[in-house]
Amino acid sequence: MNLSMSKLILIIVLSLTSIYVISCSTCIKHYEGHQSIEVNGMIIKKFRNENHAIRTFELQKEGKQFSYAIFYDIPGLWDHSEVGDSLIKPAGSLEYKLVKPDTVLYFYPECVSLQSVGIIENPKYRSK
């Protein structure tokens, strides 16, 4: 491999690394702001926002409806959620709990390391 090819590979690797770091940094800042938000309700509708195709849940609790949009990836949460499930995220936490009739699933934002929230391994699936 010649020197120019090595430089090209180095530039590509550094570019991809910087994109990941910037993306992750933005994600962490976003979820630090969401850490104080409490989400607790039954999913009555799932849809993508018309303007930017943002994944959004329409939730209901005690007869009141509200929306919760997911701007950054929370791996698995959208795919595993169904109308009728309950979505719970306590204030002060980045853990999203999806309560199904026979199972409780736990999800975390992609940019949050589980060790940083005191979890050794991902307890994604737990029986009730």
Q: Quick check: 56 and 66 in contact, CB under 8 A?
A: no
**Within-domain flag for 54:** no
Count the domains in the chain: 1
**Within-domain flag for 57:** no
**Within-domain flag for 36:** yes
Between CA 118 and CA 32, with CA 28 as vertex, the angle to 5 degrees is 75
70/59: higher pLDDT: 59
**Within-domain flag for 63:** no
Burial per residue of 20-56, b for 16 or more beta-carbon CB atoms within 10 angstroms, e otherwise: eeeeeeebbeebeebeeeebebebeeeeeeeeeeebb
Measured from the Cβ of residue 2, the count of other Cβ atoms closer than 10 Å reads: 7
The token pair that represents 60 in the structure block: 């209901």
**Within-domain flag for 108:** yes
> Percentage of the chain with pLDDT > 90?
30
**Alpha carbon separation from 98 to 22, 109, 119 (Å, rounded):** 29, 14, 18
**Within-domain flag for 69:** no
pTM reported for the whole predicted model: 0.67
> Residue 30: which pLDDT band, with cuts at 50, 70 and 90?
low
Listed in sequence order, the residues at least 6 apart from 33 whose beta carbon sits closer than 8 Å to its beta carbon are none
**Within-domain flag for 51:** no
Domain that holds residue 98: 3-41+74-127
**Within-domain flag for 60:** no
pLDDT at 92: 84
Q: pLDDT by residue (tens digit) across 66-85? A: 888 887 778 889 999 999 99
